[in-house]
Structure 1
Amino acid sequence: MSTEKGEAKSGVDLDNILEDEVGQFGKYQIVTLALAAFPIIFSAFASGEYIFTTARISSRCRINECDGADPEFAPNWVLNAIPPGESTAFDNCQRYGNLTSPPIVSEGTCPASLFDQSRKEDCEQYVYENQLSVVYDFNLACDEWRRSQIGSIRTIGTLVVLPITGYISDRWGRRVALTINAFNTGWIGLVRSFVNSYEWFLTLEVLESAVGAGAYSSCYILVTELVGPKYRVVAGATISTLFAVGQVILGLIAWGVPSWRPLTQVLYAPQLLVVCYFWILSESVRWLMSKGRYDESERILKKVAQVNKKELSEKSLEALRATAEAEKNMPKPDEPWLAILVFRSRTILSRCVVSPVWWITNTLVYYGMNINAVNLVGNSYLNYVAVAAIEIPGYWTAILLLDRIGRKPVLICGYWLCAACQFTFAFLPTENSGARLALYLFGKYCIAMVMTSVYVYTAELYPTKYRHNLFAFSSMVGRLGSITAPLTPSLASEVWESLPSVLFGSFALLSGALIFTTPETLGTKLPDTFEDAEQIGKKKTNS
């Protein structure tokens, strides 16, 4: 029996079947990727729409002595009643105090003599420049922290969606996880567009991300499990590119439909159609095999071969069935808890401490730069589009360089160039708007290059059996960066304008230095055991 198992195990490899028989990246895989493009783009909509729907709106105090029923935002008398702002023509949140005995003035005028300009008071009511975001509907004019915490609390929901989506994906399949997440995102987003209270808006933001933000990861797994090993990195970069394209489209739609309620409806209504993917997309063959569903696996592989104009051999199918049966009957040895294994290995423990810092930096800088893009000088929508579009060459630069000069040089240069851009941007005079925009875009290009590289590098540092768990640990801790990112505009407005850039640069500088503590993985075989992982960098292994 043991001999039969060994022969079966050595005689089958799904990657080899894709490479030698049904095609690694043929017409079937291209069609699947094209279908996956829509949920990926919709995921970009959902992850970034709050930047526009919760955007700041300039405001001023309502001056009851002078404002009529339909007040003008910036009347010619405004500086008589409201002090000048530090970076704006007039203060957004304060006014001059009232006199105890105001003089009698003619109707329709608002002279400075009505106010005590030696004393300032906080606004009781506000006049807004426009009504485009939730700031107007929920009266968040000078409540910057309540406004910015919407993005942070939304991101907390993504901590919940990772294990939920992982469980659904492993239990019922990648296709089920995708359709459930996309449908939940669509209907919850639509409901949110009709709410009239801050509390309900916030609740639905969190609920949407907690039960719907897993569509991107479901698409990523579904696509990469279907393509052959030679094209997996390219497929991953293409998926990242589609996400960036989604952000570009988001910026253009927000420019065309600036009011938050119709904008939300335009972005979320089409996402309900993704439920049709349950009947359109094929399930992951790897997942079906892991569940012993060989008949369905065989039908899909034959379909892949037919569409790609290839031929699937009966020998391969028999070997797959034999391997699955052998592994099902193979006894599973008792093993210590993963945390114990990690603490027993100083090398792996060190990587588990260092790699989450990279991920925190990535999400903090990446999402922080997206959010702060709308506060740059110029058209906020076009700034957002430019900052999103610059990611695309960053992703493909990483793909071109990773297998040529190595993982560590790409990561160190990417982090440190990003840090240099951030520090320079922080201290460059605001009058140099062109140079500041160029630095900002190059910094985003660098962090996009790093994002793709860290995905590859982190996975290569951990052993096969525990790679998903240890990779997910780094990714989950990294969410601290995306939770913090929405608060950075508040830090800029209430503490120091350059603080976000200095924060981004400091984390990028630290992460680049931490890359020196881990080994180069270019040309090494993926480690299967803890011992293999510990030996990376200590001895050469053939790929």
Structure 2
Amino acid sequence: MDNDKAISFDNVIKHIGWGRHQQLWILYSILLGIITAIHSLSSIFIAYPIPYVCESPLEEYVAKNCNQTTWNTSATFEQFKLETNSLDHCHMFNATLDSGSINCTNWDILTIEKCTKHHFISDGSVSTSIVMNFNITCDRSWINYMLQSMFMVGVFFNGMIFGKLADMIGRRTILLLMGCSTMLLSFLTAAVRNLILYTIMRSVMGVFCLTLSISYVLTSECVLPRYRAFSVQMGSMGFSVGTAIFAVIAYFIREWVSLQIAISVLSLINLIIWWLFDESPRWLISKGRYDEALKILFKIAKVNKANDEAMCVLDRYKASLVEMPAENLEHSGNVTEKFGMWHTLKYSGLRLQTIVLSYAWFVTSCVFYGMTLNVASIGGNIYFNTMIMGGMGIPSAFIATILCNKIGRSVVIYTSFLLCGIFCITMYFIPDELKGLSLTVFLFGRVFSLVPFCTLFLYTIELYPTLMRATASNYGSALARIGAIVAPAISGLYIVHPSLPYVTFGVLSLLAGILMMLLPESRKARMFESMEEADEFANVNAGPLRRICMTKHSK
């Protein structure tokens, strides 16, 4: 049996083992992933761009008064529009109909002006959307992109605020606050009939809705290294499941208000299951709240049906917490000391690590959301495409879990970035008529954009110490939202060339893959308790590209 000196939190977790309690935590993470996906991607259907045409008084006049027999076949109204190529769904011909200035042949006297009223023509995808209700047409089309960007602005502040709060007041408390707020704001959004208020509601919802990063921290802190990849990737799988489920729900509920209410009701799941779960005992230990932590650890041992040796280790660990002063325990420094990301700049290894991860977080979200939210642009049935897009993420989560444990986290991340970049750039060379091939390449590119997104959560959690682990995770999440805010603007490059957005995403991904090869592998690393431990690990275990650079520099 281990001696007293060897007793640590990781040692306790090792003896308690993997069991039902950790599995329930992972189930919670999966359910949160489902809810987060539905709220994050709701604009795919709720803000669906329903086709529209201009309601022109002249069009009505022509339809009523100019029958086929009275038309001059060499100068019909339809021919005039085609020959001049001067009319689209955002403009109309202007004429004084009651003055007799036009008849059914002299179309050449017409002038063009902006359309003042539109008629929406459903293409069968949705019955209503906010595009119809708020008249988001023509020169107001940018509003649709802005709404999603504003949601991501809210998520950016989510990362900046709640990661720090989770390190200060606890993971479980923050999950409750965010869950209650998301449900309330979602119901209120369904009742809004004003564009400005809707924009505000979506932005505020973004502040509260993304709970996955906190749940990743909570689940990973109470499992051994070989289970961390599984615990985090299952949350990612939940996001993919949520994407597919949302497509099915939206297929049957095609009116946006009813759809918003439906996803609001789903948010109740978060509140129901929250009561079944405990605070992270590792976090409680780091804050000196030993009695609460020990109570949870004994509960985990009981639920997992731990053996007598495990209970003995727990008793000895309890005695060590009672007898030792706080500064001699496994965490470093005062239990009330607070750390921010700026503290990493003091350490050379952590500094490089933070800079590279910042760019990686930006790119993974920019590419992932840029491709996901533009699923309608690739043609085909939007429900089928969205369901397949989510469905492909389910096996990819299991494959990523296996690869993370076999070949390492950093290898999976930079390989996925490189493959995503290759698939995105390939989109440029596919002819427009090959829709099936275009969809296939798109889906594989999207899958490889998802893998680094979820694996970066695991990787970040493993590279930073306990007292700033949630801060680092949510800092990465916040930077990811900057990428998501920028994604609609990159998607707007479609007007220059349909494949230009994908080429841009591809270049960003390739660069991220190259930079990630500078960072260390964390597959077998234990959870760090101090900044010094994390910095030493970052410097000693350089990535392959950094090792090459160091070798050349030494020569």
Q: Normalised by the size of structure 1, how large is the TM-score?
A: 0.83
Equivalences for 1:101-112 in 2 at 5 Å? none
Q: Distance in 1 between matches of 2:474 and 2:260?
A: 31
- Hey, what does 1:121 align to over in structure 2? 113
1:467-506 correspondence to structure 2 within 5 Å: 469-470=471-472, 472-492=474-494, 494-506=495-507
**C-alpha distance in 2 between matches for 1:82 and 1:525:** 70
What is the distance in 2 between the residues matched to 1:520 and 1:307? 33
Q: Secondary structure at the match of 2:42?
A: helix
One-letter code aligned to 1:506: V
Amino acid in the other structure paired with 1:394: S
Q: Which amino acid aligns with 1:120?
A: I
Per the alignment, in what secondary structure is the counterpart of residue 415 of structure 2? helix
Task: Name the residue aligned to 1:380.
Answer: 382
Alignment gaps of 5+ in structure 2: 65-75, 548-555
Map of 1:515 onto structure 2:
516
Please show how residues 152-163 of structure 1 align to structure 2 within 5 Å: 152-163=149-160
Pick from 403, 406, 429 the counterpart of residue 401 of structure 1. Answer: 403
Q: Summarize deviations over 1:309-361 as a string: whole Å, max 9, x none.
A: 22452552342353366342559489999777655555543333322221111
Question: What do the CA deviations read for 1:224-251 (whole angstroms, capped 9, x no partner)?
Answer: 2333333121111111101110111011
Determine the C-alpha separation between the residues in 2 that align with 1:526 and 1:315.
Answer: 19
Deviations 1:446-489 (A, max 9, x none): 22233344344445555777665555544432322111123444
Aligned residue number for residue 446 of structure 2: 444
Q: Provide the secondary structure at the position in 1 that maps to 2:487.
A: helix
Q: Which residue type is aligned with residue 271 of structure 2?
A: V
Contact 2:53 2:90 in 1 (8 A): yes
Give CA-to-partner distance per residue, 1:360-389, whole Å, 9 cap, x none: 110011111110112221111111111222
Deviation string, structure 1 residues 418-465 (Cα, Å, up to 9, x no partner) = 122112212311110011011001111222233344344445555777
Which residue identity is paired with 2:42?
Answer: E
Task: Check if 1:535 corresponds to 2:529.
Answer: no
Corresponding residue for residue 316 of structure 1? 314
Residue matched to 1:74: none
Further displaced range: 502-511 or 58-67: 58-67
Residues 202 and 175 (structure 1), Cα distance of their counterparts in 2 relative to 1, 3 Å cut: same
Partner of 1:170: 167
Within the alignment, does 1:47 sit opposite 2:28 as a pair?
no
Map of 1:426 onto structure 2: 428
Which digits, 9 at most, give the CA deviation of each residue in 1:259-290, with x for residues without a partner? 11000000112313533345332332223334
Q: 1:15 aligns with which of 6, 10, 20?
A: 10
Contact 1:39 1:271 in 2 (8 A): no
* 1:48 Cα deviation after fit: 0.8
1:58 counterpart = 2:51: yes
Q: Deviations over 1:16-48 (max 9, x none)?
A: 22322x332x12322333344333311111111
Structure 1 position 219, deviation (Å): 2.4
Q: Choose 196-205 or 178-187, whichever is displaced more.
A: 178-187
Rounded to whole Å, the distance in 2 between the matches of 1:461 and 1:28 is 25
Q: Name which structure has the greater RCO, CA cutoff 8 Å, separation 6+.
A: 2
Q: Secondary structure at the match of 1:313?
A: helix
Which deviates further from its counterpart, 217-226 or 525-534? 525-534
Contact 2:147 2:202 in 1 (8 A): yes
Tell me which moved more, 436-445 or 389-398: 389-398
Q: 1:336 to 1:187 in 2, by over 3 A?
A: closer
1:55-204 mapped onto 2 (5 Å cutoff): 55-67=48-60, 79=78, 91-98=88-95, 113=106, 116=109, 119-130=111-122, 132-142=128-138, 143-204=140-201
- SS of corresponding position for 1:65: helix
Find the aligned partners of 1:363 and 1:341 in 2 and give their Cα distance.
Answer: 25
Structure 1 contact 152–487 (Cα < 8 Å) conserved: no
Q: Residue in 1 aligned with 2:372? A: 370
Query: What SS does the aligned partner of 1:375 have?
Result: helix
Compared CA separation, residues 83 and 213, structure 1 to 2 (3 A): farther
- Distance (Å, rounded) in 2 between the aligned partners of 1:17 and 1:67: 79
Taking the aligned partners of 1:295 and 1:221, their CA distance within structure 2 comes to 21
Q: Distance in 1 between matches of 2:340 and 2:491?
A: 39
Aligned position for 2:551: none
Q: SS state of the match for residue 91, structure 1? A: coil
Aligned residues: 513
Q: Is the 8 A contact 1:175 1:283 kept in 2?
A: yes
Change (3 A) 1:307 1:403: closer
Q: Residue 257 of structure 2 corresponds to which residue in structure 1?
A: 261
1:417 aligns with 2:419: yes
- Percent identity, aligned pairs only? 26
Do the aligned partners of residues 396 and 112 (structure 1) sit closer, same or farther apart at CA in structure 2, a change above 3 Å counting?
farther
Distance in 2, matches of 1:271 and 1:256, equals 19
Whole-Å separation in 2 of the counterparts to 1:132 and 1:517: 49
| More deviation, 122-131/280-289 | 280-289
Distance 1:465-1:285 versus aligned 2 partners, 3 A rule: closer
- Distance in 2, matches of 1:112 and 1:400, equals 72
Structure 1 Cα separation of the partners of residues 40 and 82 of structure 2:
38
- CA gap 1:491/1:56 in 2 versus in 1, 3 angstroms: farther
Deviation of 1:216 after TM superposition, in Å, equals 1.9
Q: 2:360 aligns with which of 358, 364, 367?
A: 358
Instruction: Output the CA distance in 2 between the equivalents of 1:351 and 1:291.
Output: 26
Within 1, Cα distance between the matches of 2:44 and 2:87? Answer: 25
Structure 2 residue 30 is the aligned partner of structure 1 residue 34:
no
- Tell me the SS of whatever aligns to 1:152: helix
Select between 411-420 and 450-459 the one with higher mean Cα deviation.
Answer: 450-459
Tell me the amino acid that sits aligned with residue 7 of structure 2.
V
Which moves more between the two structures, 223-232 or 339-348?
339-348
CA contact (8 A) 1:145 1:487 kept: no
Distance in structure 2 (CA, Å) of the matches to 1:129 and 1:61: 11
Distance (Å, rounded) in 1 between the aligned partners of 2:459 and 2:87: 50
Pair 1:208 & 2:210 matched: no
Q: Secondary structure at the match of 2:373?
A: helix
> Considering only aligned residues, what root-mean-square deviation do their CA atoms show, in Å?
3.5
Helix, strand or coil for the counterpart of 1:374?
helix
Residue identity matched to 1:259: E
User: Any conservation in 1 of the 2:58–2:94 contact (CA below 8 Å)?
Assistant: no
Distance of 2:84 and 2:148 partners within structure 1? 27
Distance 1:19 1:146 in 2: 52
